Amino acid sequence: MSYRPQVVTIDDRAVEHLTEFCRAQGLQKLFMVADTHTFAAQGRAVQEALVAAGFDFKSIVFTDEEVIADAAHLFDVLVAAGGEARTYLAVGSGTLTDITRFASHRTHSQFIAVPTAPSVDGFASIGAPLIVHGVKITVICQAPLALFADLRTLAQAPQKMIAAGFADMLGKLTSIADWRIGHLLWNEPYDESIALRTLAAVQICVDNADAIGQGSPAGIRRLLDALLESGYCMLDFGSSRPASGAEHHYSHYWEMKLLREGRPAILHGAKVGVATVLVAGLYDRIRQLSRQQVSDLLEAATWPSRAEEEALIREAYGELAGDIVAEHKAFLDPTAAQVETLRRTILERWEEIQAIAAQVPAAQEVAELLVRVGGPATVAELGLEESERDLAVANGHYLRDRFTVRKLVRALGL
């Protein structure tokens, strides 16, 4: 199922709208997924209203300090839901929505989203980012049947979650540029109208950065509108490509590393924001290169052998390397002719590459926008080491079979 939500409301009557919708649709059996924080923010009100209205209501409320979209939490949801058909309710932000999206889809059920923080752009998308055997992958599932957002709840969300949503949107500045470069140099599928829609949504956030940072209802409404539009763009394209480039690959690398080492998780959007600063820095470098400099770099560069690449992957990912190698196959086994074609295309179309790079704000400008909404702009502010920054830059691009500016820099030998 890849349709858009039938109904989307963003106001102060989310629970009332939800109750009316379930009654009108004949959705008698319901199952809510929440955690202790989102239950307090919105779940209790949802439960009380639906039980009072006579619905057959069940729920699972995770008590973990950190809820992860992994096999253990998915299994807990499936056990708690039981065997009968139910409509799932995702009351929470990104992770809880992804868990619910996957579990409902795999049980041939529908789900309704009740976001409690404007922290991610995936509420209305079809992809569920999951941790599978320690690797971050996106599984195509379904969009919600409907979405009901309570503006007061969203505005009262922790500032770090609001800043994370803003940062997730800023990531589209580099993901769209990466998408255009992937289309230009690697013939990846592309849709200009969706790219323009995504960038327009980003601009809404940039234009309202101060209001978003202050947590004003008007600013939060515009942020959620933008986040939903990004989700619709992914939905309409059929994958996360419009919204996920090198900046998300860095973020995924950090997430997987923290998980392997048993360290506290960091908000997805916060990681994406810092990674966007780093990737914008790569575009800064691209803008500084003349065509002659590129010609000289390509002449001197050598494409790494499969053995060299595999060795780097195994060093960076350890026991997860097998899955990473499989995901990265297209870049590990190019023929000599494919490598030569790529190099020739880079040189011949350098002016077009420069035009794409020119549309990405300078890294310093991205960092300043993050600071304006109260979000982290450096790896140190994330609680990561400089060495972990370098590891993500060196190894994050292995995670997805996508051509990004990071792969362009690699091809140039920079």
**Over the stretch 314-366, which tens digit does the pLDDT of each residue have?**
888 888 888 888 878 778 888 889 999 999 999 999 999 999 999 999 999 99
Residue 190: is its pLDDT beyond 80? yes
**Counted domains in the chain:** 2
**How far is it, in rounded angstroms, from Cα 283 to Cα 279?**
7
pLDDT for residue 1: 42
Indicate the SS3 state at residue 117.
Answer: coil
User: Per the domain annotation, does 2 fall within a domain?
Assistant: no
Q: What's the rounded mean pLDDT across residues 197-211?
A: 98
Q: Is 149 in the same domain as 168? A: no
| Chain segment 208-256, per-residue pLDDT in tens | 999 999 999 999 999 999 999 999 999 899 889 999 999 999 999 999 9
Please give the residue range of the domain that contains residue 365.
162-412
pLDDT reported for residue 2 = 47
Residues 401 and 343 in one domain: yes
How many Cα neighbours within 13 Å face the side chain of 112?
28
Q: Can you give the CATH number for the domain in which 403 is found? A: 1.20.1090.10
Q: Are residues 89 and 23 in the same domain?
A: yes
> Cβ distance 33 to 173 under 8 Å?
no
**152 and 167 part of one domain:** no
Dump pLDDT digits (tens) for 23-73. Answer: 999 999 999 999 999 999 999 999 999 999 999 999 999 999 889 999 999
Return the half-sphere exposure (C-beta side, CA atoms, 13 A cut-off) of residue 44: 6
In the prediction, which pLDDT does 399 show?
85
Cα–Cα distance measured from residue 61 to residue 77, given in angstroms and rounded to the nearest whole number: 9
Handedness of CA 106, 110, 112, 113 (dihedral sign): positive
**Residue 335 is assigned to a structural domain of this protein:** yes
Q: Which residue from 150, 147, 97 is spatially nearest to 127, judged by alpha carbons?
A: 97
| Tokens, residue 293 | 């400099």
Cα(129)–Cα(98) distance, integer angstroms: 7
**pLDDT tens-digit map of 101-151:** 999 999 999 999 999 999 999 899 888 999 988 888 889 999 999 999 999
Predicted local distance difference test score (pLDDT) of residue 305: 85
Clarify whether residues 127 and 198 are in a common domain: no
Closest CA to 85 of 64, 111, 66, 61: 111
Which among 135, 157, 179 is the end of a domain? 157
Asked if residue 59 and residue 166 are part of one domain, the reply reads no
Q: How far apart are CA 146 and CA 95, in angstroms?
A: 18
Strand 56-62 to strand 29-35: parallel, antiparallel, or no bridges (unpaired)? parallel
In a domain, 329, yes or no: yes
Instruction: Please check whether residue 217 is in contact with residue 151, taking contact to mean a CB–CB distance below 8 angstroms.
Output: yes
Residues 177 and 151 in one domain: no
pLDDT for the residue 326: 82
Q: Is the pLDDT at 3 greater than 80, yes or no? A: no
End residue of a domain, out of 134, 157, 180: 157
In-domain check, residue 221: yes
The one-letter amino acid code at 244 reads S
In this prediction the pTM is 0.93
